[in-house]
Chain A
Amino acid sequence: MKILNSTDDAKIIVSTISKKALGMCFGSLQLDFCQQLSQTLVTSSSIRQYSELVALGFWCRPAHLQQLKKDYLQNTHVYSARGLVFHITPGNVQSMFAYSWLLSLLMGNQNIVRLSSRGGEVLTILLEVIETILQQDEFSVLKQSNQFVQYDYDTNLTDFFSECCDIRVIWGGDQTIEKIRLSRISAKTRDVVFADRFSFALIDAYAILELNDVKKDELKKIANSFYKDVLLYGQQACSSPRLIVWNGKDKKIIERAKKVFWSCVNEFLMDENKSDDSSFPTAISNKIAHTQFFAMQGLSVILESAPNFYRIQLDDFKEVYQAHHCGEGLIFEMNISKLDKLSEITNKSFQTCSYYGVELQELRELVSQGVVHNILRFVPIGHALDFDSYWDGMDLFSEFSVITTFS
């Protein structure tokens, strides 16, 4: 990682990269690199405690990438590298940049990755792993065509990289995106933006009660899956559920299902590690402030076994609530009597719906018939945080490449 202080430093970075040729889509060099990265992240004992890094390692394992390669290369069109990709990465989920960077790398692009100056433990470890692998002779080409940089907020440097790049990747929030967009890109350059997103869980009340009657273990598994979806990144990831939509015709049934579900969730106590995390008291203080804000709006609040979950019941969904959601275990809850009522909740910033107890086919029909809009991703509960090359409604392999057609 290089710390840049001036445009001259930035020019050196760009000229180093531009001396190298573009790679091949899913070229063996990149696949070899990913394999080593995967192996280190999955097997290293010192990394085991960072579940987000293990997840990244699992994602870039050879079997998965081979499958992706097969899917893409079977296409009649030919995908090839676009050129220089400038990535501006987020500070809230430290390992997130790696996914979009790896996708871009797999497509054969050259990359400049601007890392959050806020840094963090996970980021430091991940960078160390990446840079160690890139030190090997066989990866010297990749090392030169993939540059990790850090600089204090400086419009000049962002201007310069924006002018040079062929694709600019901006991880939000919305304000960051707006600010970065003030730096011009050329007519042929494409912006790939990951804006603020809001995600939710959709749970069928009857299905929960049924589990409670016959399959207690399964219920515990569902509760645990939800717990992990919420708290793995402190509920800060764009796909972390922040709302539970309860589906059920009868309000009493929903209330019973909630009771059963939450008593199960409460059995999973906060990780031992987490209480040592110095930012944890901040998280609680944050959560109190925001919960009291909602209480002051007259919304009813339920505090589950502190300090894990604070629940807030909504009758209707307003964007102001969305804006004041602080993560950290704050959960909105809403009831719907049937699935097409989802259309009254979602807006353009919605992303993932992690579901339990509802028919995927029914959801598919609601979307394809244009009844429900704005949900970009349905995954079974417990998989909210699994990264996919289709993200935020985009096919990232297409975004990071050019497509040539032959006819």
Chain B
Amino acid sequence: MTSSMIESFYELPIYDVAQKEKEDLLNNVLNQLNHHHYKKCSEFHNLIHSMNYSLTNAHYFEHPFLSVRLFKMLELKSISSNKVFKQLNSSGTSSQIVSKIFLDAQGAKDQSKILSKILLDLFEKKGLGKKRLPMLLIESPAVVKNKMSFSARGAGIQGLSFLGRNHTYALNDDMTLNHQAINEFFEKFQHEPVLIFGFTFMIWKYFIEANKMHDKKYFFDQALLLHGGGWKKLQSMAVSNQTFKKGIEDALGNVSVHNFYGMVEQTGTIYVECEQGYLHAPVFSDVLIRDPLTLEDAGIGKEGVIQLFSALPESYPGHSLLTEDLGTLIGQDNCTCGRKGRYFTVKGRLARAENRGCSDTFQ
């Protein structure tokens, strides 16, 4: 299969294709991806046979899915080793074992292209134009230093960096505020549109709370703050999305705050939070919620395990993944924000996912 299948999606509007039409388009690609990985990835091939899955051209909601955990257990790829252009690693949260995702040159190009399309669409909707913005990263420069093997944080930053200019790291290597860097950035760009990016927990702990302690405020005229990485740590501190937004308003003024959901196993296709607080599937990908006990399609309004589809992954079999996150499908085509397709919320990870070893240690 050639990359033209994905490229045919490049010209589609990100959120203006109605669900039914989008399913037809995705169905075509996802069926081809099934056959492609069946041919190219021996583990995927074995899986189809051993589990008695069939690869008929059914709707992709009926397709087999891969547990996202498999990328931590095996090195799954549909390209030969000499074609690996970049390896992405997840940050292992509850264990030291990381996911390994292999991209070829085309895959790396596709995922950064699609990521930028999704985000430029957001820039445009926010009236920030279509050009690169001055970018403040709530990170220390240390996190991107190792270019050979990126952590999820490093990869996320690198993936988004090209949407910005005048990249400024707000934190020192020891995670304290780099006041000088922030002040310089603020003085230079406070009256123009800026992009602020970071991981949810890091922004809260090392930026919002730290600035509060120093009684520092930076009121930008027009800023877009993008954050992702999950709410797990903030939930344990009882910080809700609302509290988070309020904290940011207090520190940065009139900032439009957008959470996003995504994972290293499907880099490129991220799910950005809309003005109503819902995550939207872009045209390149889709979402299905499964009942956590029966794994049947849970439909709209019922909490379950999130399954993600993406038309992107060709170099590894990651086009249909059962995640370990719980979420709820809110609806399709009818969000008041105007975006088409499916939209949902994410509640967090399954209780103690992957931490129930046969002989759990006590530590």
Interface string of B320-363 (1 = CB under 8 A from A): 00101010000000000000000000000011111011111111
Set B67, B356, B362: member contacting A117, Cβ < 8 A: B362
Interface string of B280-314 (1 = CB under 8 A from A): 00000000000011110000000001000000000
Say yes or no: A284 contacts B292, CB within 8 Å: yes
Cβ contacts under 8 Å, B50 to chain A = 294-296, 298-301
Q: Which residue of A has the minimal Cβ distance to B72?
A: A289
Q: Which residue of A has the minimal Cβ distance to B358?
A: A327
- How near does chain B come to A157, taking the closest CB pair, in angstroms? 12
- Assuming A288-B67, A292-B67, A298-B50, is B362 touching A176 (CB within 8 A)? yes
Interface presence of B70 (CB below 8 A): yes
Interface presence of B148 (CB below 8 A): no
Most A CB atoms within 10 A — which of B66, B326, B350, B352?
B350
Interface presence of A293 (CB below 8 A): yes
Say yes or no: A279 contacts B351, CB within 8 Å: yes
Say yes or no: A172 contacts B359, CB within 8 Å: yes
Say yes or no: A173 contacts B73, CB within 8 Å: no
Among the stretches A24-32, A47-55, A85-93, A181-189, the one at the interface with B is A85-93
Say yes or no: A296 contacts B46, CB within 8 Å: yes
Cα A288 to Cα B294 in complex, Å, equals 12
Interface string of B202-225 (1 = CB under 8 A from A): 000000000000000000000000
- Assuming A285-B350, A295-B50, is B73 touching A92 (CB within 8 A)? no
Cα A366 to Cα B66 in complex, Å, equals 43
Say yes or no: B305 contacts A281, CB within 8 Å: yes
Give the contact-size bracket for chain B.
Answer: 35 or more
Cα A275 to Cα B294 in complex, Å, equals 11
Considering only residues 53-70 of chain B, those with a C-beta below 8 Å from chain A are 66-70
Considering only residues 252-308 of chain A, those with a C-beta below 8 Å from chain B are 275, 278-286, 288-289, 291-301, 303, 306-307
- Assuming A285-B324, A289-B69, is B359 touching A295 (CB within 8 A)? no
Interface string of B113-146 (1 = CB under 8 A from A): 0000000000000000000000000000000000
Cα A130 to Cα B211 in complex, Å, equals 49
Most A CB atoms within 10 A — which of B52, B68, B292, B353?
B292
Say yes or no: B359 contacts A173, CB within 8 Å: yes
Can you give 15 contacting A-B residue pairs, CB < 8 Å? Answer: A118-B360, A174-B359, A176-B362, A284-B292, A284-B295, A285-B67, A286-B353, A286-B354, A288-B295, A289-B69, A295-B50, A299-B50, A301-B51, A301-B52, A307-B293
Beyond A284-B292, A285-B69, A296-B74, 19 additional pairs, beta carbon < 8 A? A88-B362, A90-B359, A116-B362, A179-B361, A236-B356, A275-B293, A280-B292, A285-B305, A288-B295, A288-B322, A289-B67, A289-B69, A293-B70, A294-B50, A296-B44, A296-B47, A298-B49, A326-B357, A326-B358
